[in-house]
Structure 1
Amino acid sequence: MKKNALIVWGGWDGHEPEQIAQIFKGILEEENFNVEVSDSLDSYADPEKLKSLDLIVPHWTMGEIQKKYVLNISEAVMSGVGIAGCHGGMCDSFRNNVDWQFMTGGNWVAHPGNDGVQYMVNIKHSTSPLLEGLSDFKVVSEQYYLHFDPAVEVLATTRFPVVDGPHAANKAVDMPVVWTKRWGQGNVFYSSLGHKANIVSMSEVSLIMRRGFLWAAEGKQRAESLAVAANARSYTGMGDSQ
């Protein structure tokens, strides 16, 4: 059975949201998803529709969103719907909404040196198999400095500082590039790579996103299995009490 995904793109044009949305659509269709692509935040208005999905892919930068829309998304993810995205399209979407930041796991605060910085993405050994087989690789793009949730599982990092700036007066730090977390029954996946479509099209980056989409979409089935098991236990318990 095909899974259902919703991609919502918009916000700052500098992140090439429409082009990246089409790349994501192609990846998901290759993985046998039914994909709806929208350029309106009103796509988040129907909570029941959102809960019927397997995956939400936001790609909206520096926008403003109604609080009820974020609540609708949050409740869908809590029920098992996955959410997965990249760069400013997910973790610089709505700077004034802390509920969004809490759910997604972090928020952009700086990219020292702006675009064109060459830096390393270092793959971490962790309990997650998501990045198995990938080696460290170089990127020439924006290097994202993020404020992030300590609950996330970090799958890849990059080391700061690469360029000079006030942050360089501190010791070197390893900043998350790829992470996962849970939100209720739902899986949350994020990669800070993806300033423009050419970065998303890199073989390493597109593979990371493909695996992230698939992993995030697994939460719905897990939630449904848990619900079936809970109902079975409840039924058995009723029988024992008679």
Structure 2
Amino acid sequence: MKKALIVWGGWDGHQPKEVAEIFQEVLTGEGFDVEMSNTLEAFADDEKLKGLDLIVPVWTMDKIDEKLVQNVSEAVQSGVGLAGCHGGMCDAFRDNVEWQFMTGGQWVAHPGNDGTDYKVNVKHSTSPLTEGIEDFDVCSEQYYLHVDPAIEVLATTRFPVADGPHALNKSVDMPVVWTKRWGVGRVYYNSLGHQANIIDMPVVKELMRRGFVWSAEGKSAAASGGQA
């Protein structure tokens, strides 16, 4: 049985407990043994982390000890999957650049704030993570992120939609869903999920389910000598 650790906390406005509970339900449904923790000290045992198949951070706008980030980083480099969403993964620790390097991006703005209507454009490629999923509309925060050019982009959204100092720049397609590698570990991110009702949308929940499973499979793939 695959093992997953969900660590939730930080800013309450993102409903971390409620989002973590949805993720727990999804992972349990996929046969994972899921541990839930509401303390960053869950990252303190480096050997325990390396024994997992998946780490799911649901933690926004906080500070973290460098050693804890190092433990997560080394676990992922060894093959443990890392998957999360919205500010719970890519606005977790604004002053920690290793976390941002590992996850592939960092939130910088959401012009229009919550309640912005926008479209998510799904990119169809060889990745099974978006197979059969069509473009869809969302009313939520539209995340503008600084992103790693090494990521594989699976979905985007077009800026500008809301007005702001960015609006006179040319239109840009901002990544919404992506994957990347960290060592032999698989990393998955989805910028949707301002609150639990967005994660509970069937299409968003399905994208997260696929991302969790794909990330967790990286460990066994790497161990067997297959592509991480």
Tell me the residue number matched to 2:197: 198
CA distance in 2, matches of 1:179, 1:208: 11
**In structure 2, how many angstroms separate the alpha carbons of the residues matched to 1:179 and 1:94?**
19
Does 1:208 pair with 2:200? no
Please give the root-mean-square deviation of Cα atoms over the aligned residues, in Å: 0.8
Partner residue in 1 for 2:124: 125
CA deviation after TM superposition for structure 1 residue 127, in Å: 2.6
- Local SS of the residue matching 1:14: helix
User: How far did 1:126 drift?
Assistant: 2.2
Matching residue of 2:16:
17
Match in the other structure for 2:82: 83
Matched residue, 1:45: 44
Q: Which residue of 2 aligns with 1:115?
A: 114
If the length of structure 2 is used for normalisation, what is the TM-score?
A: 0.98
Question: CA offset at residue 128 of structure 1?
Answer: 1.1
SS of the aligned residue for 2:114 comes to coil
- Alignment of 1:61 onto 2:50: no
| Residue type of the alignment partner of 2:162 | V
State the TM-score, normalizing by the size of structure 1.
Answer: 0.92
Shift of 1:125: 2.0
Distance 1:149 1:111 in 2: 18
Any unmatched runs of 5+ in structure 2?
none
Larger radius of gyration: 1
Instruction: Kindly report which structure 2 residues correspond to 1:85-164, keeping only aligned pairs within 5 A, or say none.
Output: 85-164=84-163
- Shift of residue 129, structure 1, vs aligned partner: 1.4
Structure 1, unmatched stretches of 5+, are 228-242
- CA offsets 1:81-136 (integer angstroms, 9 cap, x no match): 00000000000000000000000000000000000000000001223111100000
Name the CA distance, whole Å, in 2 between partners of 1:128 and 1:20.
26
State the SS of the aligned residue for 2:21. Answer: helix
* Residue 188 (structure 1) shift: 0.1
* Aligned amino acid, residue 78 of structure 1: Q
The one-letter amino acid paired with 1:96 is D
Which one has a larger percent helix, Structure 1 or Structure 2? 1
Residue 226 (structure 1) shift: 2.3
Match of 2:33 in 1: 34
1:170 is aligned to 169
Matches of 2:182 and 2:143, distance apart in 1:
23
CA-CA distance at 1:225 after TM superposition? 1.1
> In percent, how many aligned pairs have the same letter?
69
